Amino acid sequence: MIALPGAAGAAPEQIADSRLQLAEALWPSRAPARAPARALALEAIAAYRSAGDGNEESAAEVERWLAER
């Protein structure tokens, strides 16, 4: 898992949003940055799912984002 400063005590949805934003920012970089971007996206999916109700669609959106890459 990639540590995010200030993530302790944050809501799972906030953590997931942050991880996804970082993944999206890293992805356009070349191959070396794609492994961490993929890991962040997978962590975002897990965080959305751990958040419970109403976040499954967000998890599915991240899965679609990954599938398109």
Rg of the chain (C-alpha set): 12
Q: In the prediction, which pLDDT does 1 show?
A: 63
Token pair, residue 8, equals 């302790």
Question: At 7, is the pLDDT very low, low, confident or very high (cuts 50, 70, 90)?
Answer: low
For the cut 60, the answer to whether the pLDDT of residue 60 exceeds it is: yes
Query: What is the pTM for the complete model shown?
Result: 0.82
- Which residues have a Cβ under 8 Å from the Cβ of 62 and sit 6 or more positions away? 16, 20, 41, 44, 45, 48
> In this predicted model, what pLDDT tens digit does every residue of 12-47 receive, in sequence order?
888 899 999 999 999 998 888 899 999 999 999 999
